């Protein structure tokens, strides 16, 4: 079968290779992959930042979708041909996260999805909503579930709440879609008016161009009746945190998800205190959360936003595109092309 291998850290470490189709062991399944998608985690992995000690070569990409093509011994409840997506954390079935549950990530700690086939534990795949294409299903494991956990599981957004999204990357657009699905009022930021217009078409109630409005936090507060928003889905990580606090209402939530603008920053701890802010670190979610999200997606016939599709062979192009940023929504890989 065809695979992409990361042979050493960096773009040049990505090479096309051939491997035999793997055989599923006890409790495992073989998945014939059709689509995959990229996340910032894949960039961090590529650069050796996510896991400096990772074993190379490794097939990259945590997120893939396709159909069950083989069942190992002892597997029940799945049948050949079932359309499934991978899970980011194969061991996180349900409940609260632990160090153990947050390990064994495909594409980093085990072979991932840039391949014709992948072997995964049977409980590390989930059936996907019928109305989604394989490419769309492949956008769910990391970005969609991260957004779902931030908006639904942790912040428990309800109708009428105000939610602030940063930029128009994969996580932010899923968070926008979920927040709208729940009846929330949404504000989204971008440096591009064209992207803001597209976000508005997706349901964003208010838009802020953070280039022309550097104090976007203050502006978001004004747009929230002066009270502030209930939730900021913080994907910047540090460079944006202070402005996020300015947007927040007393007792509001900040989902700390991304590291787009840095991994550490001077944070006004006293303001976190006085605002009674709830800052919650989030890395994806459990398989049970994934199943609940899929029900929501199926009921609403919600469609993921794919900004760009690349074929199997263009690994370096895809990573470079992801690194440059600027895409709208997700970057997907058509593994059949």
Residue 119 zone, left/alpha/beta (φ > 0; ψ -120 to 50; rest): beta
CA distance to 78, 85, 181, 294, per residue, from 300 (Å): 25, 19, 8, 10
Residue 308 CB, nearest approach to its own copies (Å)? 26
Residue 135 CB, nearest approach to its own copies (Å)? 22
Q: How far apart are CA 252 and CA 235, in angstroms?
A: 16
Using the minimum distance from each CB to its own copies, give the nearer residue, 171 or 315.
171
Contacts with 255 (C-beta within 8 Å, 6 or more apart), sequence order? 150, 151, 154, 155, 231, 232, 233, 234, 280, 282
Largest CA distance in the chain: 61
Using the minimum distance from each CB to its own copies, give the nearer residue, 288 or 334.
288
Nearest residue to 291 (alpha-carbon basis) of 102, 121, 140, 154: 140
Query: Under a CB-based contact definition with an 8 Å cutoff, are residues 260 and 236 in contact?
Result: yes
Using the minimum distance from each CB to its own copies, give the nearer residue, 205 or 334.
205
Query: Under a CB-based contact definition with an 8 Å cutoff, are residues 63 and 142 in contact?
Result: yes
Using the minimum distance from each CB to its own copies, give the nearer residue, 5 or 230.
230
Residue 210 CB, nearest approach to its own copies (Å)? 18
Using the minimum distance from each CB to its own copies, give the nearer residue, 98 or 191.
98
Residue 49 CB, nearest approach to its own copies (Å)? 10
Residue 333 CB, nearest approach to its own copies (Å)? 25
Binding residues for its own copies, rule: CB under 8 A, are 26-27, 73-74, 93-99, 102, 152, 156, 158-161, 178, 181-185, 205, 227, 237-238, 241, 250-251, 256-259, 262-283, 286, 288, 292-300
Using the minimum distance from each CB to its own copies, give the nearer residue, 251 or 326.
251
Q: Which helix (H) or strand (E) holds 135?
A: helix 134-137
Residue 99 CB, nearest approach to its own copies (Å)? 5
């Amino acid at each position: 079968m065809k695979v992409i291998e990361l042979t050493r850290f960096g773009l040049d470490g990505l090479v096309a290779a051939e491997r035999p189709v793997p055989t599923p062991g006890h409790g495992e399944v073989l998945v014939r992959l059709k689509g995959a998608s990229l996340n910032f985690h894949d960039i961090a992995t590529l650069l050796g930042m996510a896991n400096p000690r990772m074993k190379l070569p490794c097939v990259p990409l945590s997120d893939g979708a396709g159909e069950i093509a083989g069942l190992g011994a002892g597997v029940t409840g799945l049948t050949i041909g079932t359309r499934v997506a991978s899970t980011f954390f194969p061991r996180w079935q349900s409940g609260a996260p632990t160090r153990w549950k947050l390990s064994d990530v495909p594409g980093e700690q085990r072979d991932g999805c840039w391949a014709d086939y992948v072997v995964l534990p049977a409980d590390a795949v989930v059936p996907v909503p019928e109305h989604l294409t394989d490419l769309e299903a492949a956008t769910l494991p990391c970005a969609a579930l991260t957004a779902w956990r931030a908006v639904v599981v942790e912040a428990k957004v309800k109708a009428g709440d105000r939610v602030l999204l940063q930029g128009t990357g994969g996580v932010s657009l899923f968070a926008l879609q979920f927040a709208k699905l729940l009846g929330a009022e949404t504000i989204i930021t971008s440096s591009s008016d064209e992207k803001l217009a597209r976000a508005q078409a997706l349901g964003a109630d208010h838009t802020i161009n953070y280039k022309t409005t550097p104090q976007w936090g203050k502006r978001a507060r004004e747009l929230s009746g002066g009270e502030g928003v209930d939730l900021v889905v913080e994907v910047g990580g540090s460079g944006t945190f202070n402005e996020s606090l300015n947007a927040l209402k007393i007792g509001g939530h900040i989902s700390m998800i991304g590291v787009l603008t840095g991994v550490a920053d001077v944070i006004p701890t006293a303001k976190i205190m006085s605002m009674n802010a709830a800052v919650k670190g989030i890395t994806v979610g459990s398989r049970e959360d994934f199943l609940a999200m899929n029900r929501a997606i199926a009921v609403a016939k919600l469609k993921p936003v794919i900004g760009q599709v690349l074929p199997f062979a263009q690994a370096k192009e895809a990573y470079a595109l992801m690194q440059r940023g600027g895409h709208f929504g997700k970057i997907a890989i058509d593994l059949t092309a």
